[in-house]
Amino acid sequence: MLSNLIQAVFLGGYYAMVACGLSFMFSVMRIINLAHGSLAILSAYLLYVLAQKFNINPFLGLLIVVPVMATLGWILQRYLLDRSAKGGELLPVLTTFGIAIVLDNLMFQRFGADTRSLAPYIGDLSWASYALPGGLFVGKLQILVLMTVIVVIGALQLFLKKTQLGRSIRATAMDPDTAGLVGIDAKRATAAATAIAMATVALAGAFLGMRATFEPYSGTPQLLAAFEATVIGGIGSLWGTLAGGIILAIAQTLGASVHPQGFLLGGHLAFLIVLFFRLHRNRDAILTWLRVRTA
């Protein structure tokens, strides 16, 4: 059981890695990015091509893929999302939904339905593990993922707090019009934020490919897990997203121990329970609820 719990924490770290870009974009731009999962899969394929065709180790490949994805994010925000966000909160949903469909099917067209993995290109890292006292084993890759996500979230927090660009991103998130009044270029701030989010997506895609297999349509389950982690952790909080990912993974592990098909069920239930409790901790919500009950 303890071993399962430890595995769950590491899995939670991976979920947080996938979710932190989504959470970041959602809290800064209020954009529900339905293409998030597909973009992670795209990064995984890019690394796969680099490894297979050019013999580039996926870790070195990240030196290429991270900037590529960041640039893509910049372009995405500047030329697509900024424009559609002007029409309200809903339109970016349509835009990113369209992008997701286009990406998924282009990848299918190019790579077919075969599942791929980056595991063969990273030596023994995908299965090597450290033995801990008490007969516990912890995978090296899992430790790397968890450490990376902690570093990424820490860096993002520092960046938002301490740098000029980070402060202008936060100001734009709070109130784009007023931010404009004090001389902040909102377009630049949001484009930079999306570029950063896409850089984390590149890392998420890399880890996805290293720890498991993927195919062109793998994006949707990733997207859902990312959403769950984000909402469980509380929208707008990056450390919360990490906690959310871990809670999600623990609930899934518990679910799996109850019933063979309980892995996903457990996660979904945890998501709903967390939402329910958060609502009812809020007094207004309780009052409305009571009013509805007695009405």
Partner 1 sequence: MTGAFVVERWTTASRIGFLVIAFAIVVLVAAPIVLKAGTLDRLTALFIYVMLAAMWNALAGYGGLVSIGQQLFFGLGAYFTVRLADAGLNPFASTIAAALIVAGIAWAMSHFMLQLRGGEFAIGMWVLSELTHLLVNLDRLVQGETGTSLISMNVYDPDNRRIAIYLLAFGIMVALLGALYALLRSKSGAAIQAIRDNEVAATSVGVDVLKTKRILFVLAAFGIGLAGALWLCSALTFQPKTYFSVQWTAYMIFMVLVGGIGKFEGAILGALLFFTIETWFGGTGVWYLIGLGLAAVVFSLFFPKGIWGAIEQRFGITLLPIGYRLKIIGGAE
Beta bridge partners of 213: 117
Strands (E) in the chain, as ranges, are 116-117, 129-132, 136-139, 213-214
32 sits near partner 1 (criterion: CB under 8 A):
yes
Total of chain residues touching partner 1, rule CB under 8 A: 49
99 sits near partner 1 (criterion: CB under 8 A):
yes
Residue from 6, 64, 68, 97 touching partner 1 (CB under 8 A): that is: 97
The half-sphere exposure of 244 on its side-chain side, counting CA atoms within 13 A, is 32
Sign of the dihedral defined by the CA atoms of residues 257, 261, 264, 268, in that order: negative
DSSP state of 76: I
Residue from 3, 5, 71, 89 touching partner 1 (CB under 8 A): that is: 89
Name the segment binding partner 1 (CB under 8 A); options: 49-57, 103-111, 125-133, 136-144. Answer: 103-111
128 sits near partner 1 (criterion: CB under 8 A):
no
Q: Are 212 and 192 in contact (CB under 8 A)?
A: no
Q: In the bound complex, what is the minimum distance in angstroms from residue 101's beta carbon to partner 1?
A: 3
How far is the C-alpha of 263 from the C-alpha of 137, rounded, in Å? 21
**Buried/exposed code over 29-38 (b: 16+ C-beta within 10 A; e: otherwise):** bebbbbbbbb
Residues 44-83, mask of contacts with partner 1 (x by CB under 8 A): ------------------------------------x--x
The half-sphere exposure of 175 on its side-chain side, counting CA atoms within 13 A, is 6
227 sits near partner 1 (criterion: CB under 8 A):
yes
288 sits near partner 1 (criterion: CB under 8 A):
yes
Residue from 140, 167, 188, 268 touching partner 1 (CB under 8 A): that is: 268
The burial class, CB within 10 Å (0-12 / 13-18 / 19+), for 292 is exposed
289 sits near partner 1 (criterion: CB under 8 A):
yes
Residues forming contacts to partner 1 in the complex (CB under 8 A) are 26, 30, 32, 34, 80, 83-84, 86-95, 97-106, 108-109, 220, 224, 227-228, 231, 235, 261, 264-265, 268-269, 271-272, 275-276, 279, 285, 288-289, 292
